[in-house]
Amino acid sequence: MVFPQFSLVHIFEFFWYFAFISGLYFLARKNGIFESALFFLPALVWGYFVEYFGLKLYNLYYYPDHYLFYFEGVPISIAAGWAVLAFFGYYVTTNKLHVAKKVNIYSESAIFPTIVDFLIIEPLAFFLRLWVWVQNDFWFGAPLFNFVGWLFAISIYVAIYNGVTTTYKDKLQRVTAITIAIFLGMVLLQIVGLGFIHFFGAI
């Protein structure tokens, strides 16, 4: 296998792998390895499918061929980044801001990652060509649809995780429930996304 020349893109890529492992370790020390895996592994899968369907259904962006590790066109590091940012939003909301109401947890957990994407990740992606938006509009090439997508994607995942962990105590029940819920949640997310595109376009 011939790897592309090492670049800033690879620093970005390995940053998310490091952040994912660090987050997994941090939560494992705090709540145990099972609880940590129950958040991060489904979040990794969730992030992967958010990107996979984002590429296949909407055709609004693409990934240049300069990442090291892909699966079906999606860089694995991007899925790891989704998991890390979902955890960041959820942890800040529940452990630092001590938000208790469920709907507020879902929505506020999504706000922090969306702000990070808006202020840091999208500008960085534009200059480093981490991904390329087909339409060059709104914010460093990213359409408004992208940020709406972040809000819904994180909110739905946090709702799934929070719902499963507060409803079930048995480990097998939790794993089964979160697996089914991720499938149903992803269907819901795509319905919302396609509906948004139908009525408003990517804007």
Per-residue pLDDT of 68-98, as tens digits, reads 999 999 999 999 999 999 999 999 998 888 7
What is the distance between the alpha carbons of residues 104 and 90, in angstroms, rounded to a whole number?
A: 11
Q: How confident is the model at residue 189 (pLDDT cuts 50, 70, 90)?
A: very high
Q: What is the pLDDT of residue 7?
A: 81
Q: Which amino acid is it at 33?
A: I
- The domains of the chain are located at 8-200
Q: What is the pLDDT of residue 6?
A: 60
Tokens 């359409």: give the residue: 143
Q: What is the pLDDT of residue 39?
A: 97
Q: What is the pTM of this model?
A: 0.92
CA atoms within 13 A on the CB side of 37: 7
What is the distance between the alpha carbons of residues 151 and 113, in angstroms, rounded to a whole number?
A: 8
pLDDT over 70 (residue 158): yes
**Cα separations in angstroms, 199 against 38, 152, 193, 194, 196:** 36, 16, 10, 9, 5
Quick check: 71 and 107 in contact, CB under 8 A?
no
Helix (H, G, I), strand (E, B) or coil at 5: coil
What is the distance between the alpha carbons of residues 51 and 40, in angstroms, rounded to a whole number?
A: 16
Tokens 């489904």: give the residue: 42
